[in-house]
Amino acid sequence: MKNLILSKERFEHFISLLAKKHNVMGPVHKGYDNFSFQPIKTAAEMTLKYVPTIIPPKKYFMPQYESFLEYDKTWGENMKAVVESEALVLFGVHTCDIAGIKALNIVFSDRPRDYNYLSRKKDVTIMGLECNEYCDEFASCAMMNNHLPDGGYDLFFTDLGDFFFVEVSTLKGDVIVEEIPVFEEALGRHFKELQGLRARKAKTFTNEVGIEYQHVPKILSDTKESLIWNELGDKCLACGNCTNVCPTCYCFNIWDEVNLDLKTGKRVRMWDSCQNEGYAKVAGGESFREERSARQKHRFFKKFKYMVDRYARFFCTGCGRCSRTCMAQINLKETLKKLKEEYAR
């Protein structure tokens, strides 16, 4: 691991050179304070001070729609397992979203391994970007302890006014800083400025919910029967927005698509949501989470308990997307606060 700096004057040049050699994706403003990771060629196309993108960068690891098997009705040898993947550089990924990618890595590298995900992961270079300030009132990254860099990236950029502080975290990252010679060595004063920022952040990024995240599983277990879940169910439109925008939601559906010759085709997978009507329905028609309240409860438990039990990792990153996108105003932070109050009683 080494530390470098990139002067602001050279930043545009860096992005242009990077985009000449690589497919670069960066945060782009789509209007109405909405952002999206999109292909970029120049720094000017990006907005680096951005609220989390509509869809997290998980779309580059597990695309919304993906074919993984191609077949011929006369199959045998004509059946091929395939993955579509291309080398990408993601620039400007926030720490919350890096935490999301780390969570997905665990799921898809757990045995049996998912080779489609893993071969795409191999092709992605992640360049993180630190949030100096809060994006908005929906975030709870400080509670989840995801507001500071903690690995999971190849390079990590921190904006310190005249320059970016750049942490080189992997060999992949090192190759890039070697091939684009715009970086300088980080000196003592640069470190000092970084520490200054982190000290300021320690004051502004404080636990948004007032619960140590380690306590959430216990709070949830003890409020299983709470009426709060029914309130969420009454509000919820089951539109699936909360899960589709979640950086750690990974559920998918599988089906076949035939070509018009009715002999060849492919098997595809597409993101699915535990909030959708048919998600937990078995062939006989019985649905194991018929009520919207049960589906919302499943979502909260999955983020803060089930996955913690399974992988010892919290699957909420604190990015705030689920609350930001919810038309029914189901708010994660508020819900946790209410549950805690009920738990304390």
Question: Minimal distance in Å, beta carbon 104 to other proteins?
Answer: 11
Name the token pair of 26: 């960066």
Question: Minimal distance in Å, beta carbon 120 to other proteins?
Answer: 10
Give the span between the Cα atoms of 329 and 235, in whole angstroms.
8
3-state secondary structure of 41: coil
Q: Which helix (H) or strand (E) holds 228?
A: helix 228-235
Short-list 96, 29, 86, CA closest to 245: 96
Which of 105, 197, 238, 338 touches other proteins by CB under 8 A?
Answer: 238
Give the span between the Cα atoms of 252 and 300, in whole angstroms.
18
Number of residues in contact with other proteins, rule: CB under 8 A? 93
Q: Considering only 42-50, 159-167, 177-185, 262-270, which stretch makes contact with other proteins by CB under 8 A?
A: 262-270
Query: Which residues inside 5-44 make contact with other proteins, applying CB under 8 A?
Result: 30-34, 36
Report the alpha-carbon angle 137-143-149, nearest 5: 100
Which of 328, 337, 340, 342 touches other proteins by CB under 8 A?
Answer: 328
Which of 250, 300, 304, 314 touches other proteins by CB under 8 A?
Answer: 250
Q: Considering only 142-150, 167-175, 196-204, 257-265, which stretch makes contact with other proteins by CB under 8 A?
A: 257-265
Q: Which helix (H) or strand (E) holds 187?
A: none
Give the span between the Cα atoms of 345 and 335, in whole angstroms.
16
* Residue among 44 and 237 whose Cβ is closer to other proteins: 237
Q: Considering only 10-18, 42-50, 140-148, 237-245, which stretch makes contact with other proteins by CB under 8 A?
A: 237-245
Which of 20, 258, 313, 334 touches other proteins by CB under 8 A?
Answer: 258
Which of 253, 313, 334, 341 touches other proteins by CB under 8 A?
Answer: 253
**Which residues are within 8 A (CB) of 312 and not within 5 positions of it... i.e. 6 or more apart?**
none
Question: Minimal distance in Å, beta carbon 257 to other proteins?
Answer: 8
Question: Minimal distance in Å, beta carbon 273 to other proteins?
Answer: 7
* Residue among 115 and 191 whose Cβ is closer to other proteins: 115
Give the span between the Cα atoms of 309 and 306, in whole angstroms.
5
3-state secondary structure of 177: helix
**Rule CB under 8 A: is residue 340 a binding residue for other proteins?**
no
Report the alpha-carbon angle 220-225-226, nearest 5: 75
Query: Which residues inside 200-229 make contact with other proteins, applying CB under 8 A?
Result: 224
**Rule CB under 8 A: is residue 187 a binding residue for other proteins?**
no
